[in-house]
Amino acid sequence: MRGTAVSEAADLRYALRADVAIEDFGERALVLLCDALELREINGASRRILAQLDGVRTVADIAEKLAPAGGGPATVAAALREMEKQGIVRRTAIWTTERPENMSDAKYLANPDVSFRQEDDEGGILFHAEADAVEVINPTATAIWKFLAAPRTQAEIVAHLCATFQGAPPAQVAQDVAEFIAAFLKKGFVGVVEASA
Amino acid sequence: MTEPDDTCDGLAENASPAADLPRDVPALKMFYLYLSAGCNLHCRHCWITPTFVQGQPVPGECLPFDLLAAAVAEAKPLGLSAVKLTGGEPTLHPEFRKIADFLTAAGLDLSMETNATLIDRDLATHLRQKTNLTRVAVSLDSPDAAQHDAFRGRKGAFDDAVRGIGHLVAAGLPPQIIMSVHRENVDRLEALIELAVRLGARAVKFNPVTPSGRGADLHRQGLGLSFDELLALNHRIRGPLQDRHPRIRLSAMVPPAMASVKELLRYGGDGAGCNVRHILGLLGTGEMAMCGIGRNVPELCFGKLGRDRLRDVWIHHPVLRQMRADLRGPFPGVCGDCIHAGRCLTHCLAQNYEAGGKLVAPSPLCAEAVRRGVFPATRRISWRGERTRP
């Protein structure tokens, strides 16, 4: 599942994935994706970008650090997008698990550190490794979870569910969504994307 | 949601007040009170192997009231809030009522496991009206009297149990029925559920006979359930049987890793693990033990009431300290790679010990699943399937 862009390119935030190891070979480098046991080769420009990813950094931050040779935010953003596709970096939204003042207007996003495990049509399991927490979710919650791969408002989630589950009463769906968001926000499985994102 | 009946202990997570203990020592929330080491039945599969008391309700070794009273006084500052009355047959204790009344006056929540054969109208009414007893579990292994009696080792046990259940229901204490499942009665599950409904029981729990105590003989005779039968049994109980009998709660203790998503949803997620960290068994002999397994396994007895201070035992006994350390993880074997381990806590420590001599170890069911290559990959922390990448 891939999310959509959550802000202008310069504001996008990235982090090195936790399961990668980098071996330099002159200008280039090999990246070992330890979980997948796969290798990726990256060029010198991408390697210099990775050198700046000591934590979560915005595209603008990295571009500024690499200036003037780095090529500017657009170049950095393109390289990061490519490395995200390769599983080397992950994009992180500016998000918080604080309950927003206005639940209706806020945009919500699935916690990228939570893994989803679908087993059958009955639903699936969410595992938050850092918190050592498990949530077992039914098919409706599964649909919500998948939809939250990108930032969504509650209204967007309700519309998506009503389109997915034909005949579901919108008022009931809205209530279910509100309860899901409130519960999963509290548990840290879902975050709120801040307005600037 | 997970209900107390679904677990071995029936102990609510938040049931205990703050305890006066070092930070790394959990509250002692519950006694498993093996009031009598004797029983008036001689069940072929009993894991406790109580002394058989032929016919008359003469107790075997009984926990002296004064020792119990002193133990309660010692344990309350440690967080004691609940007691499970069990045995042997707890009602065989000559001071059973006095004990129930005393524990009630001490403000403790009570539950009880009984064969119900000695429960009459007066006792049931007393327990309901005068004590804190809220949950009773009654053993009933078959809807067929002859089959039940054969396994319980006494003719008339079925009729006596059904009569006792009737008194409990009439008094307002509808019990949970516990069926010990083995190869000879595994085809009677649904009939037993229907009987439980007719009798007014509120729940049925299915405990496969384990190779402990007399159950070991049953397994040697080939009457224990195989791995495949156990899995099928658990799925059947928590799936189609519960679907067909929605008005009565059915449960089977199974490690959450071996339960389907539907079953986990039905039973409130994976949070119904053993509360063994908060439980101390008191045997009829006055020994303090790991739940009831201490009766069969002397090394899991930690001291004796009247001779050793309960507080010292709870805080310092090396077996308890080691168990607590082990339960903090990392967990051994497949549990170290299981997403449920933090709640499951390796499931039933008594069964683990019987199976392999270690308390904190993969449950026999999970270990066998690993050996057969059928442990669900999606329950492993190391699983590398679909990941959410916003």
Contacts of A197 in chain B (CB under 8 A): none
Q: How far apart are CA B309 and CA B28, in angstroms?
A: 14
d(CA A85, CA A100): 31
**Candidate from A116, A129, A134 with C-beta closest to B388:** A116
Give the model's pLDDT for residue B52: 60
Helix (H) or strand (E) holding B355: helix B349-356
Asked if B272 reaches chain A (Cβ–Cβ under 8 Å), the answer is no
| pLDDT exceeds 60 at position A75 | yes
Distance from CA of A124 to the nearest CA of B (A): 6
Residue range A110-130, pLDDT digits in tens: 887 789 998 888 899 999 988
Per the structure block, which two tokens stand in for B16? 């205990």
Q: What is the pLDDT of residue B4?
A: 55
* DSSP sequence for B212-240: STTHHHHHHTT-SPPHHHHHHHHHHIIII
Chain A contact for B330, CB < 8 A?
no
The whole-angstrom separation of Cα A50 and Cα A36 is: 19
Does an H or E element contain A173, and which?
helix A170-187
H/E segment holding residue B103: helix B96-105
In the numeric block, which tokens belong to residue B118?
Answer: 């000695």
- pLDDT of the residue at A159: 95
Which residues in chain B have Cβ-Cβ distances shorter than 8 Å to A115? Answer: 383, 385-388
pLDDT in tens, A130-176: 889 999 999 999 999 999 988 899 999 999 999 999 888 999 999 99
Can you tell me the distance from the alpha carbon of B105 to that of B284, in angstroms, rounded to the nearest whole number? 22
Task: State the nearest Cα–Cα gap between A68 and chain B, in angstroms.
Answer: 31
The answer to whether B284 and B60 have CB atoms below 8 angstroms apart is yes
Q: Considering only CB atoms, which chain A residues are within 8 Å of B387?
A: 115-116
Long-range pairs for A126-134: beta carbons < 8 A, 24 or more residues apart: A126/A189, A127/B339, A127/B381, A128/A187, A128/A188, A128/A189, A129/B381, A131/A187, A131/A188, A132/B342, A133/A187, A133/A188, A133/A189, A134/B269, A134/B270, A134/B339, A134/B340, A134/B343
> d(Cα B214, Cα B135) in Å, to the nearest integer?
26
Nearest Cα to Cα of residue A63 among A84, A78, A83, A82: A78
Mean pLDDT of A25-39: 89
pLDDT of residue B220: 85
Q: Give the residue from chain B lying closest to A114, CA to CA.
A: B388
**How far away is chain A from the Cα of B337, in angstroms, using its nearest Cα?**
11
Asked if B386 and A110 come within 8 Å (Cβ–Cβ), the reply is: no
Compare CB distances from B386 to A118, A150, A151 and report the shortest one's residue. Answer: A118
CATH class for the domain made up of A2-91: alpha beta
**Radius of gyration of the CA atoms of chain A, in A:** 19
Helix (H) or strand (E) holding B180: strand B176-181
What is the CA B156 to chain-centroid distance, rounded?
A: 25
The verdict on a CB contact (< 8 Å) between A134 and B343 is yes
Q: Which amino acid is at B95?
A: E
* Closest residue in chain B to residue A127, using alpha carbons only: B339
Residue ranges of chain A that CATH labels 3.90.930.60 = 2-91, 95-193
Tokens read off for B193: 């559920």
Residue B187 contacts A, CB cutoff 8 Å:
no
pTM, 2 dp: 0.79
Chain B residues close to A143, C-beta within 8 Å: none
pLDDT at site B328 = 92
- List A20's β-bridge partners, or say none: A33
Residues of A in contact with B269 (CB under 8 A): 134-136
Angle between helices B157-171 and B145-152 (to 10 degrees): 100
Structure tokens given for B338: 């299981």
Query: Cβ of A169: how many Cβ atoms within 10 Å?
Result: 9
Query: Are B388 and A149 in contact (CB < 8 Å)?
Result: yes
- The per-residue pLDDT for A67 is 83
**Residue A1: per-residue pLDDT:** 31
Q: What are phi and psi of B240, to 5 degrees?
A: -60, -35
Q: Give the pLDDT confidence score for residue A3 in this predicted structure.
A: 34
Q: Which residue of A has its CA nearest to B269?
A: A136
Longest dimension (CA), chain B: 70
Please check whether the domain covering A95-193 is classified as CATH 3.90.930.60.
yes
What pLDDT sits at residue A111? 85
Give the pLDDT confidence score for residue B119 in this predicted structure: 96
Interface A-B, measured as beta-carbon pairs within 8 A, has a size of 81
Whether the CB of A118 is below 8 Å from some CB of chain B: the reply is: yes
Which of B265, B387, B390 has its CB closest to that of A123? B265
Interchain CB contact of B191 with A (< 8 Å): no
* Burial class of residue A101, CB neighbours in 10 A (0-12, 13-18, 19+): exposed
Q: Are A189 and A134 in contact (CB under 8 A)?
A: no
> Given CB atoms, is A112 within the 8 Å cutoff of chain B?
yes
C-alpha distances (whole Å) from A141 to each of B125, B278, B352, B387 are: 46, 34, 35, 16
B260 in contact with chain A, both atoms CB, cutoff 8 A: yes
- b/e map of A5-41 (b: 16 or more CB within 10 Å)? ebbebbbbbbebbeebeeeeeeeebebbbeeeeeebe
List the single best residue of B235, B258, B387 to mutate versus A (max A Cβ within 10 A): B387
Q: Which pLDDT band holds residue A194 (cuts at 50, 70, 90)?
A: low
Q: Is B324 strand, coil or helix?
A: helix
What's the confidence (pLDDT) of residue B5? 59
Q: Do B269 and A114 touch (CB under 8 A)?
A: no
Using a pLDDT cut of 70, give the percent of chain B over it: 88
Per residue of chain B (390 residues), give pLDDT as tens.
Answer: 445 555 666 665 554 555 678 989 999 999 999 988 777 777 766 666 666 655 554 556 788 999 999 999 999 999 999 999 998 889 988 899 999 999 999 999 999 999 999 999 999 999 999 999 999 999 999 999 999 888 888 889 999 999 999 999 999 999 999 999 999 999 999 999 999 999 999 999 999 988 777 777 878 888 889 999 999 999 999 889 999 999 999 998 889 999 999 999 988 777 667 788 999 999 988 999 998 777 778 899 999 999 999 999 999 999 999 999 999 989 999 999 999 999 999 999 988 998 899 999 999 999 999 999 999 999 999 987 754 433
Residues of B in Cβ contact (< 8 Å) with A136: 261, 264-265, 269-270
Give the model's pLDDT for residue B122.
98
Whether chain A has a CB inside 8 Å of the CB on B270: the answer is yes
User: Min CA distance, B74 vs chain A (Å)?
Assistant: 35
The candidate with the shortest Cα–Cα distance to B30, out of B48, B52, B11, is B11
Q: Which residue of B has its CA nearest to A112?
A: B389
Question: What one-letter code names the amino acid at B220?
Answer: R
Neighboring chain B residues of A124 at a CB cutoff of 8 Å: 261
